[in-house]
Structure 1
């Protein structure tokens, strides 16, 4: 009986200590964002430690290009079901390559009329955030509603994907139809990292593609030690006539020096701050998280 009592006391003391540490991290983050003219959503989760922090999780944040991670998962789920193959050729017509949108595919193949393997379209879409590639993939699998239903079936309920890139470019308000909570993005990253969604081959492909993402060097990766492996996806909106930026986002999986990981989602919305400040918010929060998971401070 005494042994059980001591064991229980030790467990409770450990839990209290962990709560105190995560509480301190949460307060540090809240202090950091308090002075910013922006709404900041944060979710942090230790994949191995299970430590978790959520800030402003009751709000809906526009996804912007973060949803290309969600789309890639849906596409690769179709590969795993045998309905698509990674090496199948995707015909891209000139009419698919819309102007006035970010598109490395269009820059490389301005006339279109090319066939690219699915892997290449996915890499353009995820690692280089190609907007035309995104909509090509959506047409391949049946549109945004297919992705929305796929996510809800996975148990990721606090997310809505209703508009493609072309539609988001038509009017400012459309982007808000694609929203998430911070926790939902981290929950999805967790399912992905725990290999509960995709086959090993599809997981390896997408993880490597996200690790090769070229956008957002001043966001999650901004203050981390050189060489830190980060598999992530950014999202960026424009700024309207009132000086409001709808979204500066980054979500990802950070590999720690000891081989463990934490998932992080920082969604900066409705911001009157500069792009540099918005990105620094993400970098600062990530650095605080890194310090917590590496040294407990």
Structure 2
């Protein structure tokens, strides 16, 4: 190859790289603009972050806002329980005695099944109730078993998830409106936690497999991240939702991992905070943002 041919080849390579970078940058800008437009329909604050688990591409919109988690906090609680299982402090088959005082009136399929308590439930079953069904009483029973919210908070911070605070149980959040805001995170930090939790060496294989099994089995929020995705799309996720106060919903959230048609994975976190619209409208915002992220990722 002559000198001039070599120079031409180098030039073409540089042009190709520059063109590809420009196209991706334009695509990022278009997606961010699309999310910004969708977010207007929430009439509140919307935070979003995404990460391609394999390709490491990231994008966020208000990704550094401190936003209330509500039941999204059950994801880090589950991770902490499974960490203690791996450390030999607990076992998945360990039976936890439950009496009526452990079952205050709240959203709890566990309480519906055992209204009087007087039963012992294995930790694996409590985890399933807490994550897949978003059971509030199961959550607080597991928090008590761990030693309280401070244990979860400290464990998250110990491996670098600093932008998260877990200070109140489900029961405590139910006592006063403002308490829920003490349990917060940032969308970008939740994406980091999702990413870390996908790593096969983060938990033991048994704990890793069980975590993602119960995340995939989540039945809450079918109209949120999953709402507009193709039928059969695998989504391992955790939802979180507050009540309303004077027509304002403090939190409507969904975070999780979407399995793409090519077998790769996309982590997404969508938080809708202090929204003045009804639940179907809030869920539509989450669904449309998740679908936009999904379409963006599979178009690459």
Gaps of 5+ in 1: none
- Aligned residue for 1:250? 254
Gaps of 5+ in 2: 1-5
Residue 64 (structure 1) aligned with residue 70 (structure 2): yes
SS in 1 for 2:42: coil
Whole-Å Cα distance in 2 between the matches of residues 155 and 14 of structure 1?
34
TM-score by length of 1: 0.95
- Aligned residue for 1:40? 46
Map 1:76-225 onto structure 2 (within 5 A): 76-99=82-105, 101-225=106-230
SS in 2 for 1:116: strand
CA distances 1:149-193 after superposition (whole Å, capped 9, x unpaired): 111112111111100111001000000000011001111001111
Whole-Å Cα distance in 2 between the matches of residues 56 and 248 of structure 1?
15
SS in 1 for 2:160: coil
Number of residue equivalences: 294
CA distances 1:220-260 after superposition (whole Å, capped 9, x unpaired): 000111111000000000001x2110000000100011100
Contact 2:172–2:179 at 8 Å: present in 1 too? Answer: yes
1:24 maps to which of 24, 30, 36: 30
Contact 1:65–1:236 at 8 Å: present in 2 too? Answer: yes
Q: Return the offset for 1:19.
A: 2.2
**In terms of Rg, which structure is larger?**
2
Residue 293 (structure 1) aligned with residue 297 (structure 2): yes
Whole-Å Cα distance in 2 between the matches of residues 256 and 58 of structure 1?
26
Contact 2:41–2:285 at 8 Å: present in 1 too? Answer: no
Contact 2:225–2:254 at 8 Å: present in 1 too? Answer: yes
Whole-Å Cα distance in 1 between the matches of residues 186 and 119 of structure 2?
38
Whole-Å Cα distance in 2 between the matches of residues 169 and 36 of structure 1?
24
Q: Return the offset for 1:113.
A: 1.0
Query: For the aligned residues, what is the CA RMSD?
Result: 1.5
1:227 maps to which of 213, 232, 242: 232
SS in 1 for 2:244: coil
Whole-Å Cα distance in 2 between the matches of residues 286 and 114 of structure 1?
40
1:280 maps to which of 281, 284, 295: 284
- Aligned residue for 1:263? 267
